[in-house]
Structure 1
Amino acid sequence: MSILLSLIGGTEALPLTRVTLDDFKGFETSDLKDRFKTLFEDLKGKLPYQGTIRSRTGQVVTIDAGSRQGVRQDSEIFVVLISTVQRHPKFHFITSATREIMGRVRINKADESISFGQVIEEKTQNLIQPGFKVTVDPNPTYSEAGFDREGHFVGAMANQPDHALAFGENPHEWSATPRASFGRLNLLAGFSSANLSTSLTTDSASSSNPLSPSVLLEGEMWIDPQLQLNLNIFDIISKVPNGLSGSVPDPLNFQFQQLDLTLGYNFLADESDFFGAKFHVQFGFSQASVFVQDSVPSAHTSKTYSGLAMGLGGGFPIRISPRKILVLGAQFNYHLSPGMSESSGTYGPSSNQMSQFNFSGEYYWTEKILLRGILNFEQLSSSFSGGPASSASANFTSLLFGVGFLF
């Protein structure tokens, strides 16, 4: 059995829409009723509108469409004028229609088949009148399409069956300025928790300041995708308590300076994506100086550590959107048998250690500007023999934020 439903209207009695069902094999009356109900809803769904304005008083209008047609309380619907229609050449039902938006109505109450609302926008005053059509079609939405930060297709464009023919092999977006290819410079500032400790043969001194202003300058020069030259300059300036009973002055002026110059080699997860996931090793020279104001009796002395440094680290990008990337990273630096010079020259031979570890996060704001944060832990320690002190250490925990520029 075949079923054909047509909706006829207008002065010319032409069909507005039609639906058909072929080879219906049901025999029960209930099955036939259910199928007719479904077909009738499909028939109404093909109309270029869902209801009409039945009356208007001031700004309040009554609409012959309700929750069954998708009208919801506090929603907004469009009042439209159907200017032209295209009909099937043989059966004359509407195949497409051109709708012009005349205004908008906010729904105050929606029952099953009737609703009430308020005109909130119209092209001219009192333009919307009984007989105007309304539509509750949702605003059109589109899948995300375009290029990601690396120039690869995303979204609908990548799924087009003809994208290879239309856009060619390895297409890239056009940009007025080239991407960064030489290096980058980061400037960060924040606070450090500085802790100094000296164990003397007769006493001990311990000094700390949890909020010491800090500045970090990081530079990278990319020789090629694998090799890069790194320069880091870190500075802390503050005051710390003397920490030794009876020693003056109190507090003591304090400064920490560090210079790192290393050559790094990158192991890229994707050889064609320099800004993707990577692991790197570094090797070079490092020098760290702890300057402390002289005191009597001496609580702490100034020291300078230097030696060869080896570093291991990496970064893993998280794509927030096609053009927004967050990179999480970590770095560990160990110094091989560092030497140390001490200002008083009386502490005797020493055994020294230097180590550093940090976590970092980078958000690429644009292709040339990034926001960077870093949590850094650093320790310098020495053990002495044959002098007035047995050990000394300096520990720093720093939280820094800043901006980076890629060039």
Structure 2
Amino acid sequence: LDLFLAKDGKLLAQAEVSELEQFDISSIKEHSAVLWSRIVSQIPYQGRVLSRQGLRVTVNLGKKDGINENSIVNAIQILKINRHPKFNFIVSSEKEIIGKIKLLKVDDTLSFGELILEKEKGAVGKGTKLAGLDPITYPVAGLGKLDFGRSPSGGPSHSQIAFGENPTSWVPQRPPTFGQVGASLGLGQFSGNMSLSSAGPISASNNLYPTVSLAGELWVTPDWTVRARLNQGIIPISNPRSGSNPKNLSQSLSETDIAIAYVFYSGYSVWDAKVEGTAGFAKYRLFVDNSDLRSFTTMDYSGFKFGAKGSFPVIEDLSWSVGGYVNFFLNPSMKESPVTSGSDNDASINQFGILAIHRLGERLKLESSLDFAVYSAQFTGEGNGSESATSASHRHVGLSASVYYLF
């Protein structure tokens, strides 16, 4: 249940029931009443002053609000409202008591009272907010009852019965508002191809290589997100060129990615369905060992990317979601070392993937992804090495599992 403010259209309060065991009308009415009471409890005041004449005031509270004659309510001033940075509902508020009103006549929805305390003259007037209908009270104990460990009868105290030994305070966990950080482990398949001018096409592959990644997001505003990612991998291969040494070549993979995203949410929770557009810069480097008859070169691909990403829950409690992403690169570049395979090259990058997300808790999630990437280049002219090439490509297929902490 959501409550919006008509003045600016912002979400004011939100309450939800995660599981409904029955869907009959009586059950829905019961849950609706519970939701409404939760919504009302989030509003930082409970009534208003309708008018004031001298010390006499009229308020919009009555017997239906649980007050009686001679009740005293607080006139307050709201100093600050703290809103959720992403979804705008009220998280907390800071208030100051500026007066007290004693109610002399109480009707069902209207009451008349007298101002008995005022911070300064004229501080309480029409529109002043009212609170304190449910004051917190504590039992008054005599000096003989100050032994908190035992009751006067010699048995355990009421606090021990109610809370157990070494009780600690409990507060509800606030939803994540600032971002997330995570780490992942993965396994991948690699295939590398290169068409040499004299030796012809050569290829090498690795069907199972390990990767490790670190990633982070910062939710700058409810709509804008900044993210970064670092991925590392080790890919050993056999030297595919006949007569070339060494017979086994080591490769190291390094990927960095920095992007901003504009996010569209279908609801007011980070677990709701969402679609985002992304823009950023990515860099891919695959280092390979030298060999006496050169097979492959170290290649660095980089470029500005644009893409889309989305996910949607597949069960009602939002604990499981599926999604995907795709990235397009605008005029990517490729550099080789220690030699070049041509005087110029035309590079291209293709990336897309499938996601599965499991909510482990309010601040913890597990994400698995199946990723596909192809890096390729067409060469023209003669390179500065002993042998030129016409084309080269790297293909990666990876499966990874990530754990994210949301804060």
Superposition TM-score tier, normalisation by shorter sequence: 0.5 to 0.7
Task: Provide Cα deviations, 1:31-69, integer angstroms capped at 9, x if missing partner.
Answer: xxxxxxxxxxxxxxxxxxxxxxxxxxxxxxxxxxxxxxx
Name the counterpart of 2:101: none
Are residues 1:349 and 2:349 paired? no
Are residues 1:402 and 2:402 paired? yes
Task: Provide Cα deviations, 1:265-296, integer angstroms capped at 9, x if missing partner.
Answer: 011223x3343111101111111111111112
Name the counterpart of 1:246: 243
Cα distance, 1:219 vs structure 2: 1.2
Cα distance, 1:363 vs structure 2: 0.5
User: Relative to structure 1, is the Cα distance of residues 166 and 184 closer, same or farther in structure 2, using a 3 angstrom cutoff?
Assistant: closer
Q: Kindly provide the amino acid, as one letter, of the partner of residue 404 in structure 1.
A: Y
User: Relative to structure 1, is the Cα distance of residues 170 and 244 closer, same or farther in structure 2, using a 3 angstrom cutoff?
Assistant: farther
Cα distance, 1:166 vs structure 2: 4.1
Are residues 1:224 and 2:226 paired? no
Q: Kindly provide the amino acid, as one letter, of the partner of residue 347 in structure 2.
A: N
Name the counterpart of 2:195: 199
Asked whether the equivalents of residues 185 and 211 of structure 2 are also in contact (C-alpha less than 8 Å), the reply is yes
Cα distance, 1:165 vs structure 2: 5.8
Distance 1:162 1:386 in 2: 76
Cα distance, 1:175 vs structure 2: 4.7
Distance 1:354 1:385 in 2: 18
Cα distance, 1:264 vs structure 2: 0.4
User: Relative to structure 1, is the Cα distance of residues 246 and 366 closer, same or farther in structure 2, using a 3 angstrom cutoff?
Assistant: same
Q: Kindly provide the amino acid, as one letter, of the partner of residue 225 in structure 1.
A: P
Asked whether the equivalents of residues 204 and 244 of structure 1 are also in contact (C-alpha less than 8 Å), the reply is no
Task: Provide Cα deviations, 1:203-253, integer angstroms capped at 9, x if missing partner.
Answer: 222000010111122211111221000111111112111111111111100
Return 5+ residue gaps in structure 1 as ranges.
1-149
Cα distance, 1:382 vs structure 2: 0.3
Q: Kindly provide the amino acid, as one letter, of the partner of residue 327 in structure 1.
A: S
Distance 1:314 1:165 in 2: 32
Name the counterpart of 1:360: 355
Distance 2:36 2:284 in 1: 58
Asked whether the equivalents of residues 377 and 393 of structure 2 are also in contact (C-alpha less than 8 Å), the reply is yes
Q: Kindly provide the amino acid, as one letter, of the partner of residue 358 in structure 1.
A: G
**What do you get for the CA RMSD once the two structures are aligned?**
2.2
User: Relative to structure 1, is the Cα distance of residues 170 and 350 closer, same or farther in structure 2, using a 3 angstrom cutoff?
Assistant: farther
Name the counterpart of 1:336: 330
User: Relative to structure 1, is the Cα distance of residues 350 and 246 closer, same or farther in structure 2, using a 3 angstrom cutoff?
Assistant: same
Q: Kindly provide the amino acid, as one letter, of the partner of residue 295 in structure 2.
A: A
Cα distance, 1:176 vs structure 2: 3.0
Q: Which TM-score applies when normalising by structure 2?
A: 0.59
Query: 5 Å matches for 1:50-199?
Result: 151-153=15-17, 154-155=19-20, 158-160=28-30, 162-163=33-34, 166-169=37-40, 175-199=171-195
Task: Provide Cα deviations, 1:132-173, integer angstroms capped at 9, x if missing partner.
Answer: xxxxxxxxxxxxxxxxxx841352665316446644448699
Query: 5 Å matches for 1:19-34?
Result: none
Name the counterpart of 1:127: none
Distance 2:370 2:41 in 1: 38
Q: Kindly provide the amino acid, as one letter, of the partner of residue 338 in structure 1.
A: P
Distance 2:403 2:269 in 1: 23
Asked whether the equivalents of residues 225 and 274 of structure 1 are also in contact (C-alpha less than 8 Å), the reply is no
SS at match of 1:206: strand
Distance 1:159 1:244 in 2: 75
Cα distance, 1:328 vs structure 2: 0.7
Answer with 1 or 2: which has the greater Rg: 1
Distance 2:294 2:373 in 1: 24
Asked whether the equivalents of residues 369 and 404 of structure 1 are also in contact (C-alpha less than 8 Å), the reply is yes
User: Relative to structure 1, is the Cα distance of residues 170 and 395 closer, same or farther in structure 2, using a 3 angstrom cutoff?
Assistant: farther
Distance 1:225 1:402 in 2: 24
Name the counterpart of 1:135: none
SS at match of 1:319: coil
Name the counterpart of 2:392: 392
Return 5+ residue gaps in structure 2 as ranges.
1-13, 43-88, 92-169, 383-387
User: Relative to structure 1, is the Cα distance of residues 162 and 190 closer, same or farther in structure 2, using a 3 angstrom cutoff?
Assistant: closer
Aligned length: 255
Q: Which TM-score applies when normalising by structure 1?
A: 0.59
